[in-house]
Structure 1
Amino acid sequence: MSDRIKFHLDEHIDNSIASGLRRYGIDVTTTVETGLRTQSDESHLEFIRSEKRVMVTHDDDFLIIASQTNEHPGIAYCSPSSRSIGEIIRCLILIYEVYTPEEMIGRVEYI
């Protein structure tokens, strides 16, 4: 497994966040880039598992999934409209700097 966290942004996460993370050198994919737009939560879950990416989402359905299984590479959850784009980027950079991918397995981090 990689020694650095990689992120995947759910479709409702602003693309500016992907740009900000990339400027910092962080590996990030978006739902549109990966062809997962309008796909099921299970499809997203399969993708993040296969790619070993932490899901960044506003969708509380992923909190339900996380309460039922810890077999996911991690979820960073932010309640809709609760943080600015800059705050979300700073929080994700902090997660990137503090945790290893192994430490994020099965974990939910609330932003």
Structure 2
Amino acid sequence: MPKTIRFHLDENVSNAIAEGLRRRGIDVTTTPESGLIGVSDEEQIALCREQERVIFTQDTDFLRMAQIGISHRGIIYCQQKTRSIGDIVRGITLIWEYLESEEIQDKVEFI
């Protein structure tokens, strides 16, 4: 079980998701905690590349960036209001448990 991926949550993601992940021992940062409210999506991706973090988002702009080939450490996407907080925490936890960070680089996973 790898458990090596570190995550960053985009600014529109509920803090309850961060807390649920942290209770499982998962390393996670959030946009508000990092002082990044209002920065561009490109800056968020750059931060994640620098810190080697996979971003979890509910913003389709990140999917567009991945589609045009902008390099990233990995994107996990869930459409807003389609999954409960518990479902999202479980989905991210499964990725953390079974994938190495290299396996998700420049890929998008959907929850």
- Coarse TM-score class (shorter-chain normalised): over 0.9
Q: Which runs of 4+ in 1 moved over 3 A?
A: none
TM-score normalised according to structure 2 size: 0.95
Aligned to 2:66: 66
Corresponding residue number in structure 2 for 1:80: 80
- Percentage of pairs with the same residue: 50
Return the TM-score normalized by structure 1.
0.95
Letter in 1 for 2:47: F
Aligned equivalents of 1:34 and 1:10: distance in 2? Answer: 10
- What is the aligned partner in structure 2 of residue 96 from structure 1? 96
Structure 1 pair 84–61 and aligned structure 2 pair: CA distance change class (3 A): same
Instruction: State how many pairs are aligned.
Output: 110
Extract unaligned runs of 5+ from structure 1: none
* Residue 6 (structure 2) aligns with: 6
Shift of 1:42: 1.0
Q: Which residue of 1 aligns with 2:37?
A: 37
- Could you tell me whether the CA contact under 8 Å between 1:70 and 1:105 is conserved in 2? no
Structure 2 regions of 5+ residues with no counterpart? none
